[in-house]
Structure 1
Amino acid sequence: MRVLVVGGSGFLGREVCRRAVGLGWSVVGTFHSGAIAVGGVAARRLDVTDRAAVRALVAEVRPDAVVGTPYRYGHWAVTADGAAHVAVAAAERNARLVHVSSDALHAGRPVPYADDEPPTPVHAYGAAKAAAETAVRAVDPGAAVVRTSLIVGEGSKQIQLCRDALAGRATLFSDELRCPIDVTDLADAVLELVASPYAGLLNVAGSDAVSRAELGRLVAERFGLDTAGLKTTTSAATGLVRPLDVRLDSTRAGGLLRTRLRGVREVLAG
């Protein structure tokens, strides 16, 4: 298996590269500004907003499969246009495509979201992720589109945000619920989908629904940090328009995949 990981320098992308190498696959990972630094991975610089460059790289690499993980918060051209460019290039080579999306395209509600529910974005990033999905599914109906949640693990932005809030340098929302997933679980699930014929949307998230504030307390317990300085607030108090209760129902993924999608409490318990 020869796989191209677009966004291989990102937190998830590096783990996908690492675990694909462990499977004995030939792996090419792309980066734009950060380093991949994973042994056995051929690293290539790529600007996903450059359609010609994306097509040229895919034509050169000739991958059996492409994993699309790139995004940049608040950057439509990377998140939406970039996903479309990757999908077109993969389709031209008849390569299997697994596109990684986000729960941020939902508005939030008291009932968990099923796999196939249409996007209801309430902010620009969610709209960009929804546009990316639309492009991918239009270009390649056979692609697997993974909707996931907050990605945790050593070195993740989510864990660092919790550490910052515990130190009084950031604030966590107590009214935003998510289903965090460990980066290794998500990477394994993505690679299972690379080797499968599954087509369409699939929720792949952790089994626990927690608020961002509760996640901060779980991080404190895991690393022996004091919660006295933990700063919390609500979206309503800030006046920001953000998705609130966004729980993904990953029942379908649980029955389809061998990878066990652990809850964040188990993950952080060590």
Structure 2
Amino acid sequence: MDILIIGGSGYLGRELVRQARAAGHRVAATYHRRPVAAAGVTWHPLDLRDRRAVAALSAEVVVNAAYRKAEWATTADGALHVAAAAAATGARLVHVSSDAVFSGAARSYPETSDPDPVTPYGAAKAAAETAVRGLTPSAVIARTSLIVGDGGSVHETRVHALATGASGGALFTDDVRCPVHVADLAAALLELAASPYAGVHHVAGPDAVSRHELGTLIARRDGLDPARLPAALRAGSPDPGPLDVRLDCTATRSRLRTRLRGAREFLRS
């Protein structure tokens, strides 16, 4: 496949680039600040807010893994620009969305669930989904959860900082998600890109864990003392956001060869 990875310099983007190259695909990728050293990859600087710049890039398959939490213009408008470009060229689009589109009011969320965001970031991701659906009905919208790997993710970096006293804060015990390993997620996204499927897919791990439990699992794997991880409740805190958001991935798993491991498995010490 001829693949363009939007946000290729990010944590998920780098893994998508790596796996796509390993599979023998022709790969181009975009970056916002700096490219990544990756042999055989064509890098393009890109500001997703610039519709003309987005439209100037094309490929057989486009995977949009870019976002900026604090910026509607990148997360929402940028996704619209990518979808419009894909529609104009007939490209296969896989758009990476988030469980942030949900409020946590339901016990779990299957792929048929409508977004009900409670944060600006969740609203931007929900708006992006609407744009993608409207402009490219054949696209895959892949909602995922907390992305963790073998080091280097935002969540792992924060756990290390908390456990070593390098930063303050706490991990919430009432904030539950379904973390996914970055390698599993990237493999699933590339598999969906090569598939005939369209519409919303949920791509997350089967284990529902709190952010504090996730931190404990990371600390134990990395030889840190979990007892040093401060705990707190998100409910009533000044840090707003949904609490218990569990993605039901049953339908998506039935379509995938890729096995989505749970956090308790891939973080086993």
- The amino acid across from 1:35 in the alignment is P
Q: Secondary structure at the match of 2:29?
A: strand
Letter in 1 for 2:81: H
Shift of the alpha carbon at 1:101? 0.1
Q: Over aligned residue pairs, what C-alpha RMSD do you find? A: 1.1
Corresponding position: 1:70 with 2:87: no
3-state SS, counterpart of residue 238 of structure 1? coil
Q: How many pairs are equivalent?
A: 266
The code of the aligned residue for 1:142 comes to S
Per-residue CA deviation, residues 54-87 of structure 1 (Å, 9 max, x unaligned), is 00122xxxx1110001100111001000000000
- Distance apart, 1:227 and its partner CA: 1.9
Q: Tell me, in whole angstroms, the C-alpha distance in 1 between the residues paired with 2:126 and 2:119.
A: 11
CA distance in 2, matches of 1:48, 1:161: 27
Counting only pairs closer than 5 Å after superposition, residues 62-211 of structure 1 correspond to structure 2 as 63-109=59-105, 111-153=107-149, 154-168=151-165, 169=167, 170-211=169-210
Letter in 1 for 2:221: R
Shift of 1:165: 2.3
SS in 2 for 1:42: strand
**What one-letter code is carried by the residue in structure 2 that aligns with 1:29?**
A
State the one-letter code of the partner of 1:136.
Answer: V
Q: Which amino acid aligns with 2:102?
A: H
Structure 1: segments with no counterpart, 5+ residues: none
Quote the Cα distance in structure 1 between the aligned partners of 2:57 and 2:190. 21
Q: Within 5 Å, give how 1:51-66 maps onto structure 2.
A: 51-58=51-58, 63-66=59-62
Distance 1:38 1:67 in 2: 17
Q: Extract unaligned runs of 5+ from structure 2.
A: none
Deviation track 1:116-169 (CA, whole Å, cap 9, x = no partner) reads: 211111010000000000000000111000000000012111111122222342
Moved more, 95-104 or 110-119: 110-119
- The code of the aligned residue for 1:262 comes to R
The DSSP-based 3-state class of the residue aligned with 2:258 is: coil
Three-state SS of the structure 2 residue aligned to 1:228 is helix
The Cα of 1:39 is off from its aligned counterpart by 2.0
The amino acid of 1:201's aligned partner reads: V
Once the two structures are TM-superposed, the CA of residue 224 in structure 1 deviates from its matched residue by: 1.2
Residues 114 and 248, structure 1, Cα contact 8 Å, conserved in 2: yes
Q: 2:249 corresponds to which residue?
A: 250
Q: Secondary structure at the match of 1:97?
A: strand
Corresponding residue SS for 2:84: helix
Deviation at 1:238, TM superposition (A): 1.5
TM-score by length of 2: 0.96
1:33 CA drift (Å): 0.6
Shift of 1:207: 0.8
Which AA in structure 2 matches 1:214? E
Give the SS at the match of 1:66.
Answer: strand
Return the offset for 1:110. 5.2
Contact 1:19–1:188, Cα closer than 8 Å, also in 2: yes
Tell me if structure 2 keeps the 8 A contact 1:80–1:128: yes
* Helix, strand or coil at the partner of 1:87: helix
